[in-house]
Structure 1
Amino acid sequence: MNEHAYDRMLRIKTSSGLQALSGSVHQNRYEATPYDALEVLVEEYELKWTDDLVDYGCGKGRVSFFLHHHFQLTVTGVDVNGHLYQESLENQASYMQKVKKTTGSVLFERCLAEEYGVERAQNKFYFFNPFSIQIFMKVVNNILRSVEQEPRAVDLILYYPTSEYLQFLHDRTAFELFMEVRVPKRYEQDENERFVIFRLL
Structure 2
Amino acid sequence: MNEDSWDRLLKIRTSGRDDTGSDQYKYPYEPTPYSVLERLGNSGEIGKKNTVLDYGCGKGRVDFFLSYQTGCRSVGIEYNERFYQAALRNQEKAVSSGKISFIQQDAAVYQVPAQVDRCFFFNPFCLEILKQAMARIMESWYENQREIRLYFYYPSQEYEAYLNGLDELQHRETIRCMDLFPGNDQREKF
TM-score computed with the length of structure 2 as normaliser? 0.95
Letter in 2 for 1:33: T
- The 1:170/1:77 distance shift into structure 2, 3 A limit, reads same
Q: What CA distance in whole angstroms lies between the structure 1 residues aligned with 2:21 and 2:39?
A: 31
Structure 2 counterpart of 1:10, which letter?
A: L
Inter-partner Cα distance in structure 2 for 1:115 and 1:135? 9
Structure with the largest fraction of strand: 1
Inter-CA distance 173–140: structure 2 relative to 1 (3 Å threshold) = farther
1:48 CA displacement: 1.5
Cα distance change, pair 12–170 in 1 and its aligned pair in 2 (3 A): same
| 1:21/1:27 contact within 8 Å kept | no
Structure 1 residues not aligned, in runs of 5+ = 196-201
Q: How many residues align?
A: 189
**1:154 aligned onto 2:139:** no
Cα deviation, 1:92-144, whole Å, max 9, x if unaligned, reads 0111xx448x6xx1010011011111011111000000000000011011101
Q: Per-residue CA shift, 1:11-33, capped at 9, x if unaligned? A: 00011x21113254210111000
Please list the CA deviations of residues 47-74 of structure 1 after superposition, one character each: whole Å capped at 9, or x if unmatched: 1211111000000000000000012211
Going from structure 1 to structure 2, the CA distance change for 1:194 and 1:49 (only over 3 Å counts) comes to same
Q: Quick one: structure 1 residues 23 and 72, their matched pair in 2 at CA, closer, same or farther if it must change by over 3 Å? A: closer
Partner of 2:93: 94
> Does residue 1:187 correspond to 2:186, yes or no?
no
Instruction: Indicate which of 168, 172, 183 corresponds to 2:162.
Output: 168
Letter in 2 for 1:38: L
**CA distance change for structure 1 residues 191 and 116 in 2, over 3 Å: closer, same or farther?**
same
Whether 1:12 and 2:7 are equivalent positions in the alignment is: no
TM-score norm. by structure 1 comes to: 0.90
1:35 is aligned to 2:34: yes
Farther off after superposition, 165-174 or 51-60:
165-174
Q: Which residue of 2 aligns with 1:143?
A: 137
Contact 2:51-2:116 at 8 Å conserved across structures: yes
Q: Deviations over 1:125-173 (max 9, x none)?
A: 0000000000001101110111111111101100000111111111134
SS in 1 for 2:25: coil
Identity of aligned residues (%): 33
Relative to structure 1, the CA distance from residue 71 to residue 182 in structure 2 (aligned partners, 3 Å threshold; closer, same or farther) is same
Counterparts in 2 of 1:173 and 1:30: CA distance versus 1, 3 Å = farther
Residue 56 of structure 2 is aligned to residue 57 of structure 1: yes
Query: Contact conserved, 2:19 with 2:29, CA < 8 A, in 1?
Result: yes
**Are the aligned partners of 1:57 and 1:127 in contact in 2 as well (CA < 8 Å)?**
yes
Structure 2: runs of 5 or more not aligned: none
